[in-house]
Amino acid sequence: MARLFGTDGVRGLANVDITPELALSLSVAAAHVLGDASLAQGRRPKAVVGRDPRASGEFLSAAVVAGLASAGVDVYDAGVLPTPAVAYLTADTHADFGVMLSASHNAMPDNGIKFFAEGGHKLPDEVEDEIAARLDQEWTRPTGAHVGRVHQMRDGHTRYISHLLTVLPNRLDGLKIVIDGAHGAASQVSPEVFRLAGATVHEIGTEPDGLNINDGYGSTHLEHLQEAVVARGADLGIAHDGDADRCLAVDADGVEVDGDQIMAILALAMKDRGALAKDTLVTTVMSNLGLLQAMEREGVSVVQTAVGDRYVLEEMRRSELSLGGEQSGHVIFLDHGTTGDGVLTGLMLAARVADTQRSLAELAGVMTRLPQVLVNVKGVDKSRVETDEELQMAVKAEEAALAGSGRVLLRKSGTEPVVRVMVEAAEQEQAQAVADRLVEVVRARLSLA
């Protein structure tokens, strides 16, 4: 049976896959698993709940709040806030756990439910599986004074903003910045905090109506931001996704600055301040080879993990490191948060521009992105990708031909019968040619026919 929880909570089509009945049952199960420690100590469990502005979040959050309170949990409803804000408030208020309703960068009809453990950390797989196992089990319902109480957390917004301003290394005075909120959870928070930090801000994608989240705006649709930055003569643009746990950027000429370039800039900024623990950056295997080459030149070590910000975070915690992230724009500052924070990432990036008085394009020039080709080969036996000798020989031959000027990565999908073939090389044509040859070998060797 497939796991209920995916790589980032439980996600699907709202009111079909993610129903109010499921939301209520999940919240009750989570209350029993995550609130047990408080109950054992004779205390009532406490939870922080937040959501993005999707229309379905209104009834799904009501179901979550109802389920938690009925299970004896005191609920602090923070309303519409970014995912990292909910994680921060979970830690800051010493709550037993937090709940975020969002489908991140997915289209509006989707929604999802994600839980944070005490301290604002993502749940390990085994805890998620324990919650899933408790669904629809019989339980003793509290009554009278033992039911949970529901409180509106009216200061969650300002507490999160105060936290962001406190950790910012320098002000942003003199910068002109365009913020694209994706009509999502950061639509109010992000422009406000950038203004409070001293920047002149122009907003786009900051008018959520419950239906327009991620619709043509945000980190997956940079066209409007690129146009606005150039038209306004801005120094840079910042784009969030629906729940604002990621950030991409645009320089003054409207050129995209991706997550790898952002990490390169921030790693050097933190190294200069003595804040980059062990002078080491954590990335996934999907980060561009250009990032690794740049960090080697600048004296920064790079540790690579499997794809997924949870694996980046696990490595950061295990090795006591302070900066990590993904090419997609998830960046984690472990000294200041427990999950990717797109607003904080944007602030730190702008702070580096302001501090150095160098353009974002110049700062991003520390690394050269190698051309990258990614092909999804469908309908193959992904289980044999690492054991088929002929395929592995073909990979080694292509890697030898690239002679350190590129790389090859074959990765099986976690959810589909798909093998992902990724090739980087000095020239686009070369990368495409290598990818085409390897795709043919994958099809020939791993065919399901």
Active-site amino acid positions: 104
Strand ordering across the sheet containing 323-325: 301-305, 280-284, 323-325, 331-333
CB 101 within 8 A of CB 55: no
Give Cα 21 distance to the centre of its chain. Answer: 27
* 141 CB neighbour count, 10 Å cutoff: 10
Q: How far is CA 396 from the centre of its chain?
A: 33
What is the C-alpha to C-alpha distance for residues 438 and 433, in angstroms, rounded to an integer? 9
Residue 385 phi/psi, 5-degree rounding, is: -65, -30
Instruction: Output Rg (C-alpha) for the chain, integer angstroms.
Output: 23
User: What DSSP line would sit under 184-216, residue for residue?
Assistant: STTTTHHHHHHHHTT-EEEEES----SS-TTSS
Pairing of strands 236-240, 247-251: antiparallel
Residue 275, C-beta contacts closer than 8 angstroms, at least 6 positions apart: 322, 335
Of the candidates 79, 91, 87, the residue with the CA atom closest to the CA atom of residue 344? 87
Asked if 336 and 229 touch (Cβ cutoff 8 Å), the reply is no
